[in-house]
Amino acid sequence: MCGIVGVFSNAPVNQLLYDAMLLLQHRGQDAAGIVTMLERKFFMHKAKGMVRDVFRTRNMRALPGTTGLGQVRYPTAGNAYSEEEAQPFYVNAPFGIVLVHNGNLTNAHALRSELFSTDHRHTNTESDSEVLLNVLAHEIERATRGVPLHIQDIFTAVEAVHRRLRGSYAVISMIAGHGLLVFRDPYGIRPLCLGRSADGGVMVASESVALEGSGFTFERDVLPGEAVFIDLQGQVHARQCAPDASLHPCIFEFVYLARPDSTLDGISVYQARLNLGETLAQRVVSTVPPSEIDVIVPIPESSRPSATQLAHLLGVPYREGFVKNRYVGRTFIMPGQAVRKKSVRQKLNVIASEFKDRNVLLVDDSIVRGTTSREIVQMARDAGARKVYMASAAPPVRFPNVYGIDMPTKDELVAHGRTIEEIRQIIGCDALIYQDVDAMKRAVMKAAPKTPGAVPLGGFEASCFDGVYVTGDIDTEAISRMNGNRPRIEETDIDASRLTLPNHSE
């Protein structure tokens, strides 16, 4: 996952983009970048780091223009520590195009050689997003019938792009002197929505929270396979560009990735998490009688809605037993296992009185590598807990994800090839309770809108739980090829500033 945003306005957009990216910071903490456009000229600034570290006043002043786009990156392909691979990406022909991408192409490898041998285009990084931009540029070139570019030609180009790309992609691009082009893969795996401001501005973003927090009113989600073009008068043109599009949003967005105050494809993330707590309650009672649980403690941050609902239904007190240091980022999306482990202890500290001589049920939204749960269970024991039970609002994560969540190696997953009892022993808890896959899907589905006109859900992209890959082109060979191109991390590369208080000075 990454966070992406694009905006057309009647006033300078640099601050708007910055603010929207802060609202999407939970989706990517490795790099950030903005491009603005003034007449035909692009202005870009991108670097490794969080938004508030990457953009200083002098950088903001150098981003003029009333149309622009930005991204916060969480790498899933290429080199996590290369500044070159921070987004946006730029190509000068045709017209000049910049692009930001959330997702992961599963055929980037084949496309890269095709681009070179057939399209005669050069890519200079390992990033799949650079490949995507070059495919788009090539198809726009082929579809173009002159200057200025016809909107119908842009849509023809997106049709061709859909035919060539596999995998997940929510894309915002900007064509110099023309406008913003936005599209979503035919399964709508990664989210993308559109809103407007009272003064005629248009914003597109990964999550509705970015629109609302920037003074825009949510209008609709971009449909799977659809392309939307926002011209320089702020007019919105749209066309369905994939013949068999069908909505299969990534279920992990609802479990962990997205902010709870966002609504994705009509589904409230918060409501989905409450529902997950409800179905989890049924599993808990069949394993541990509520009378044997003294207190329910969420593992901050993302598990809170599910834990609240679970405690309410079991009639057991809900207590905040861990306090989060808000200056440490999300540990799951940190590259490198050593830094993740260190961060769990730096991020969470116990309130010992909530654990002493009690039977505690810890609740997390998901257990992926098991790093968080193992540390937390030990911390609860060190604080004097009698029994430590652990519940996960999501089912075991058993399969690699190839659609933009960095869990591509099955060996990294604590649940891969292990029984629940084996996982319990590794985590070190007295009982381990997982949601089941169908219950999870039902719980999130239950939060889907019943309103007429809502886009029907074809299903969920839930491959990391059920091993079913919606794009149908994923086999063991494809997964190991992608592993070869997953973000490379040297522990010595770890950016220590991410574990400390950021410097707010100019």
Ligand X SMILES: NC(=O)CC[C@H](N)C(=O)O
Nearest to 265 by CA among 281, 250, 283: 250
Binds 331: which of Mg ion, ligand X, ligand PRP, none (CB < 5-8 Å by kind): ligand PRP
Say if residues 100 and 52 touch (Cβ distance below 8 Å). no
**Cβ closer to ligand PRP: 371 or 471?**
371
Is 2 one of the catalytic residues?
yes
Binds 374: which of Mg ion, ligand X, ligand PRP, none (CB < 5-8 Å by kind): none
The beta strand positions in 440-499, using DSSP E, are none
**Cβ closer to ligand PRP: 55 or 252?**
252
Binds 394: which of ligand PRP, Mg ion, ligand X, none (CB < 5-8 Å by kind): none
Q: CA 167 to CA 404: how far, in whole Å? A: 9
Binds 330: which of ligand PRP, ligand X, Mg ion, none (CB < 5-8 Å by kind): ligand PRP
**Cβ closer to ligand X: 102 or 279?**
102
Residues 88-147, interacting with ligand X (CB under 6 A): 101-104, 127-129
- The tally of CA atoms less than 13 A away on the side-chain side of residue 477 is 3
Which of 364, 406, 461, 495: binder of ligand PRP (CB under 6 A)?
A: 364
- Which residue carries 């599963």 as its tokens? 106
* 367 is an interface residue for ligand X by CB under 6 A: no
Q: CA 286 to CA 492: how far, in whole Å? A: 46
Q: Determine whether the annotation assigns residue 365 to a binding site.
A: yes
The beta strand positions in 342-445, using DSSP E, are 348-350, 359-364, 387-392, 431-434
**Cβ closer to Mg ion: 214 or 302?**
302
The one-character DSSP state at 458 is -
Strand-pair partners of 59 = none
Q: CA 123 to CA 101: how far, in whole Å? A: 16
3-42 footprint of ligand PRP as x/- string (CB under 6 A): ----------------------------------------
* 254 is an interface residue for ligand PRP by CB under 6 A: no
Least separation, in Å, of the C-beta of 283 and Mg ion? 19
- Which residue carries 């079913």 as its tokens? 468
Q: How much of the chain is helix, strand and coil, in % rounded to 5?
A: 35, 25, 40
Binding site for ligand PRP (CB under 6 A): 256, 299-302, 330-333, 364-373
Binding site for ligand X (CB under 6 A): 1-2, 73-78, 101-104, 127-129, 404
List active site positions: 2
